[in-house]
Amino acid sequence: MPADPLVTMGEGDTPLVPAPRLSELTGADVWLKLEGANPTGSFKDRGMTVAVSAAIAEGAEAIVCASTGNTAASAAAYAARAGLRGAVIVPEGKIATGKLAQALMHGARVIALRGNFDEALALVRELARRHPIALVNSVNDFRIEGQKTGAFEVCDEFGEAPDVLCIPVGNAGNVTSWWKGFQEYGEAPRLHGYQAEGAAPLVQGAPVESPETVASAIRIGNPARWEDAMNAFTSSRGEVRAVSDAEILDAYSLLGAREGVFCEPASAASVAGLLKYGAEGRVVCVLTGHGLKDPQTAMNRAGSVVPCEPDIGSVEEAVLG
């Protein structure tokens, strides 16, 4: 019997690094899980390798997803590698430049929907019902199976779970995955989930019709994994809370300037939440995507460059002045 098809690019095994400045600021023992080190620069690859391999096994000819950007980039890459057609539906004008460049470079058909993520997801679900196309959003259980490996890695590295896991929440697939992973490992850290204030349906207890946040990756108003996520927060004696865009951007800048870690704004929500609400013991913040995904937000936020004439005096002044 032939082996199961496997579409892989070396997902996972991402760095888990201590965060001395954050530890100092919070009094906790803070670690960062750098999911931006995955092949396409986000945690989505952990699940996409499984979902696309399964799609091949099932004989799919095409895959489709709705996305705020990272799922699109990942799906496009794995479709290209698998020789499948890929189509991604994204909210028009609302995904970060790097993610758009990725999806286009991998040859996916990129559809800019005049609507938000929630509308896009409803439409691709209907599309997948009507046509033999594999849906690779996290409503696909194979995605969850792949993404739970983050929890395995952290437990392997520490020999146990941390006390608290801080994680940004959008469509709520990832927190569902980590919780499944911890449970299968026989562990139960507290899960602290953070949503952006303008896109915080789980915190408010009701869908948000027009979600808005600078953290475009988590601009989601009606998470598909709503119940799974709430179960994870309750069962782990954790919590789900909101952080403002200003708090997200402060954490984003702090990570870059003081920890040497460049993540995207949505990822910084995990650290913004930790700084705002606190946590005790050993704490892991999941930094879900790389900062290079969203150069525009970085450039809007960062300091300006120093112009300089090409002579030593000017250079001395520019460097040392």
Minimum distance of ligand AN7 from residue 72's CB (angstroms): 6
User: How far is Cα 85 from Cα 313, in angstroms, rounded to an integer?
Assistant: 57
Minimum distance of ligand AN7 from residue 2's CB (angstroms): 32
Give the nearer residue to ligand AN7 in terms of CB position, either 39 or 168: 168
Q: Is 89 exposed, middle or buried (0-12, 13-18, 19+ CB in 10 A)?
A: buried
Minimum distance of ligand AN7 from residue 171's CB (angstroms): 3
User: How far is Cα 262 from Cα 34, in angstroms, rounded to an integer?
Assistant: 10
User: Which residue from 125, 133, 138 is spatially nearest to 86, judged by alpha carbons?
Assistant: 133
> Three-class SS of residue 215?
coil
Minimum distance of ligand AN7 from residue 55's CB (angstroms): 17
User: How far is Cα 154 from Cα 251, in angstroms, rounded to an integer?
Assistant: 22
Minimum distance of ligand AN7 from residue 304's CB (angstroms): 26
At 249, give phi and psi (nearest 5°).
-70, -35
Minimum distance of ligand AN7 from residue 26's CB (angstroms): 21
Minimum distance of ligand AN7 from residue 321's CB (angstroms): 38
Minimum distance of ligand AN7 from residue 305's CB (angstroms): 27
CB 284 within 8 A of CB 164: yes
Instruction: Please report which helix (H) or strand (E) contains residue 90, including its range.
Output: strand 85-91
DSSP string, 72-88: HHHHHHHHHHHT-EEEE
Q: How many Cβ atoms sit within 10 Å of the Cβ of residue 318?
A: 12
Minimum distance of ligand AN7 from residue 226's CB (angstroms): 11
CB 90 within 8 A of CB 119: no
> Three-class SS of residue 195?
strand
CB 288 within 8 A of CB 35: yes
For every residue of 118-179, which 3-state class applies, written as one string?
A: HHHHHHHHHHHHHCCCEECCCCCHHHHHHHCHHHHHHHHHHCCCCCEEEEECCCCHHHHHHH
Binding site for ligand AN7 (CB under 6 A): 42, 67-71, 138, 168-175, 217-218, 264, 266-267, 288-289
User: Which residue from 266, 253, 261, 246 is spatially nearest to 299, judged by alpha carbons?
Assistant: 253
